Structure formats: structure tokens, C-alpha cells
Amino acid sequence: MRVEFIENGRKLISTNRGVFKDNELIWYDNAYILSLKFDEEKVEIVMKKIPKAGGEVR
């Protein structure tokens, strides 16, 4: 499944690389990870920057 996340007209992530693990959907590209965790009561959406080699955030 392809996913795009756009904030204030700026595309932050656009990818079809993703996995399903337990109760979480995870998509990733070269700069971000987008995670959707869910259960019967709530859905949690988290977006994180992927650190570069050496520990700096992109």
C-alpha cells in the first residue's frame, strides 16, 4: 500500500515501503518513519526522522 503524508502543503513522506507488525503499520523512506499503532480504543500516529550515520538527524 502506498502512503503519502502532507503537512501544510509540504510532502514529508511518500512511499510504498512498509510493514505490518503486531498492531502497528510502519512505512519508511530515506528520511522518515511513519507509524500507526492501534487497538480497540485508539489510534496513535507517530512520525520520526531517521538519523544519519553518526547519529545526526536528517
C-alpha distances in Å from residue 37, one per residue of 9, 29, 48, 54: 25, 18, 14, 28
| pLDDT (0 to 100) of residue 51 | 84
Span 11-25, pLDDT tens digits? 989 999 999 998 999
| pLDDT (0 to 100) of residue 54 | 65
How many CB atoms within 10 Å of residue 27?
A: 22
| pLDDT (0 to 100) of residue 53 | 72
Minimum mean pLDDT among 18-22, 40-44, 48-52: which range? 48-52
| pLDDT (0 to 100) of residue 5 | 87
Note if the pTM is more than 0.75. Answer: no
